[in-house]
Structure 1
């Protein structure tokens, strides 16, 4: 077998050493600096992204707090507007009813009160007759 030939051991060791040293210096001088550079760039990029994420979270919280305050202000102003509109409409309805009762419906109101008075008189008369019997 040629692998066990003692004459070729030295040449096999020599080429193994040459190949190994060449591979070692190739990895040491070319591959490792490239990998280290890539890792450094990746680390810087991740740190920059983390700081941007923090900044965006702060901005988001400020936007949400502003949104909440605007929403609360708008709800309170709409509540005030609604309450003022309801009170104004109630005042208008009361004034309109008073005005109608004093002008257009005066005769009708008098007739209604007279009718109620007549009904009460009849009721009292009926109760008096009932109590006499």
Structure 2
């Protein structure tokens, strides 16, 4: 929820812009011109610590963007467990380069498990005869 000061600032953006331009000509710095870190919108404020135009929503957007960029920088190339190709994963737990490889490996595992079970049953049937 936005505070009273934030709501007032949004209602008086034109006035703050005018004051900012007057202060720039006179050399004062009471009103600041800021590019929002979340949405990129230009806004004017008198609050010294303000970084975002909508503190909650834009702050979350900026934080999500920073985290996404950090994860992307620290992402390492992996080797696909099915085909052996190198790939850059889109998420942390990725083991396959594509859905096709994931499905192919799953089918192989299921088939191997079923054939191992059949071999066990065949050996059991042979020994009982």
Q: What TM-score do you get using the length of structure 1 for normalisation?
A: 0.32
More helix by share: 1
- Structure showing greater radius of gyration is 1
**Greater relative CO (CA pairs within 8 A, separation 6+):** 2
More strand by share: 2
